[in-house]
Structures are given as structure tokens and as C-alpha cells.
Amino acid sequence: MSSNIRMRLLISCQDRPGIVATVSQFLYENGANIIQSDQHTTDPQGGIFFMRIEFECEGGESQNLEAAFTEIAESFDMDWRLSHVNTLKRMAIFVSKQDHCLLELLWRWKAGDLNVDIPVVISNHPDLQATVESFDIPFHYIPVNKQNKREAEKEQLECLEQYHVDFVVLARYMQILSPDFVAHYPKRVINIHHSFLPAFVGANPYERAYQRGVKIIGATSHFVTDNLDEGPIIAQGTKEISHKYNVDDLKRIGRTIERDVLARAIQLHLEDKIIVYGNKTVIF
């Protein structure tokens, strides 16, 4: 029916009998039709239970679901969230001087392959302003250095609030965010690191990979936490290399991997397919 809306319910809690039956019965009693359902338990003997359900219900009923489900969630001590599929998330992009990840996201967004709003791009350098504005997206240049970092992050956060941003993507943004900034967007800042983590954390990973003589290079997209490049991993990609490649070759190959991995991670987030637990993720 045209009045139907599609929603997603994500759940994590201690595993125990009756969770699936209770949730399914709740949705049935509230007039919902389950379209897709996935679940995972970390350990059949007392592990953590994870569930993602996509369903349709009438628009009027959807407004009551969240309040009605609270009692069930409390009885199972659930971490949970309910989202509307047709409500676009609002994504801010942070970037420095390198444009490959930024352009990949803008191209996919322009083509309709990323179902997201991009209300603003923020950079600590002015270099990519013309590129961003050619997509009719506002560009904010906020310089960052050791002396003004606190003031710069305050301005960034005010900008994100002004544009009602839901989550932040660091598209090769070459700055370390403070714990205060991260606390404003817990599990909602996605980074791309140009290394197959946990190898070569921090700066210059391609140079260090070359010096180590690795045979595989890669990239990792993860949620940002207070620990540098140690947040929950969302997506990774690799490519085999050999002694024939120099550092510039590794960087050139790596840029392609970075673009793909970051875009895949964002797509998973947009489709509500990620549940974070501890420092890990379940990807449905």
C-alpha cells in the first residue's frame, strides 16, 4: 500500500530463549510485515545476540512503534535503534588536500549510488573548495593547527549542528580528532586509514610498508575512537604487490583501495547493517 513505510530495527543483547519470537510477535501485533530478518549469536552458550529486521507498516502505526517497543527492550535489556528507511541520513565530509576519496563519494552521490544527503564539506585547507562547490555543496574552510585546535573543533561542531549532520566521514582528513569531538558523534565518525589495520597504525603507512617489504597492502575503514586507528573495523580491502613496486606505486594502488573501502563502509552504515559491540562490529 502507498501509505506503508519501511523501517529497520537493530538489536543487541545477552542471548536467551524467546527473543526472536517476542520481537516477531510484537511486529505482527502492530501490523508490520517483515521483509528481511538476520541474526547472529557470538556464542550459542550465553553469548551476545544480534538482530536486524527490515519491515513495512502503515504510516500511522509507525509513530507508535518506538514507544511500544520500549517495554520489550527493557525486559531483555536490549541496546536497540529504530530507523526509517526513506529518511535520508545527513553526512558531512571532512577532507584535507587529497581528493580521491572525496571525489569517489561525490561521484557516487551524484549518480544516485549513495542514498544520502551531503549538506556540507569541511576542510583544514582551501584547496578543494572549487571542486566541492561544483557539486553545489557548501564548503567550509576551517584551518587547524596545534595552537587553535580547540577553537577550530568548536567551530566545526557548530557547523555540523547548523547543518543537522547525522554522521561524519573523514575522507583522508589528516588530523586527529580530540576525544571531546568524538564524544559528540559516538560510533558516527567513519575514517579511512591507508593501511590494512592493525598493521602500520598512524602516519606514513605506505612508506613503512615498503620498508618492511610487505607482499600485501590494503586500507581499512573504521569508526573513530579516542585510540588512534584502533576503532571498530567496518570494511577492509587488500591487493597483492611485489618487490617491483616502489612507494609511489603503493600509494597509487592504495588510492584505489581506499576509495572502494570507504564507499563500502558508508553504504553499510546507510543501510543500518552495522552493530558495534566492544571494539568489534557485526556486519549484516
Q: What is the CATH number of the domain that holds 15?
A: 3.30.70.260
Q: Does 97 lie in the same domain as 75?
A: no
Q: Which of 84, 101, 125 is the last residue of a domain?
A: 84
Q: Which of 84, 117, 136 is the last residue of a domain?
A: 84
Q: Alpha-carbon distance 194 to 205, whole Å?
A: 7
CATH of the domain at 130: 3.40.50.170
Q: Are the C-beta atoms of 107 and 132 separated by less than 8 Å?
A: no
Q: Which of 29, 55, 84 is the last residue of a domain?
A: 84
Q: Does 62 lie in the same domain as 96?
A: no
Tell whether the model's pLDDT for residue 249 goes beyond 80. Answer: yes
**pLDDT for 132-182, tens place per residue?**
999 999 999 999 998 999 999 999 999 999 999 999 999 999 999 999 999
Q: Alpha-carbon distance 193 to 208, whole Å?
A: 14
Range of the domain at 75: 4-84
Q: Does 68 lie in the same domain as 116?
A: no
β-strand partners of 53 = 9, 37
Q: How far apart are the first and last CA of the chain?
A: 27
| Burial of 108 per CB tally in 10 Å (0-12, 13-18, 19+) | middle
Decide which of 31 and 273 is more confident.
273
Q: Does 160 lie in the same domain as 32?
A: no
Q: Alpha-carbon distance 23 to 16, whole Å?
A: 13
**pLDDT for 49-106, tens place per residue?**
999 999 998 865 666 888 899 999 999 999 999 999 999 999 999 999 999 999 999 9
Q: Does 149 lie in the same domain as 17?
A: no
pLDDT of residue 43: 80
pLDDT of residue 61: 62
**pLDDT for 181-194, tens place per residue?**
999 999 999 999 98
Q: Does 73 lie in the same domain as 98?
A: no
Decide which of 3 and 57 is more confident.
57
33-41 and 48-58 strand pairing: antiparallel
pLDDT of residue 59: 67
pLDDT of residue 17: 92
Q: Does 147 lie in the same domain as 259?
A: yes
Nearest to 185 by CA among 204, 205, 159: 159
Q: Does 64 lie in the same domain as 94?
A: no
Q: Are the C-beta atoms of 159 and 122 separated by less than 8 Å?
A: yes
**pLDDT for 7-51, tens place per residue?**
999 999 999 999 999 999 999 999 899 999 999 998 877 799 999
- The catalytic position among 117, 166, 229, 272 is 229
Nearest to 11 by CA among 69, 62, 64, 59: 69
pLDDT of residue 229: 86
Q: Alpha-carbon distance 4 to 250, whole Å?
A: 49
Tell whether the model's pLDDT for residue 1 goes beyond 50. Answer: no
- Predicted TM-score (pTM) of the model is 0.93
99 among known catalytic residues:
no
> What Rg do the C-alpha atoms of the chain give, in angstroms?
21
Query: What is the domain count for the chain?
Result: 2
Q: Does 183 lie in the same domain as 266?
A: yes
Q: Does 237 lie in the same domain as 164?
A: yes
pLDDT of residue 225: 95
Q: Does 200 lie in the same domain as 107?
A: yes
Q: Does 71 lie in the same domain as 118?
A: no
DSSP secondary structure string for all residues of the chain: -TTEEEEEEEEEEE--TTHHHHHHHHHHHTT-EEEEEEEEES-TTT-EEEEEEEEEEEHHHHHHHHHHHHHHHHHHT-EEEEEETTS--EEEEEE-S--HHHHHHHHHHHHT-S--EEEEEEESSSTTHHHHHTTT--EEE----TTTHHHHHHHHHHHHHHTT-SEEEESS--SPPPHHHHHHSTT-EEEEESS-TTSS-SS-HHHHHHHHT-SEEEEEEEE--SSTT-SPEEEEEEEE--TT--HHHHHHHHHHHHHHHHHHHHHHHHTT-EEEETTEEEE-
Nearest to 120 by CA among 143, 140, 96: 140
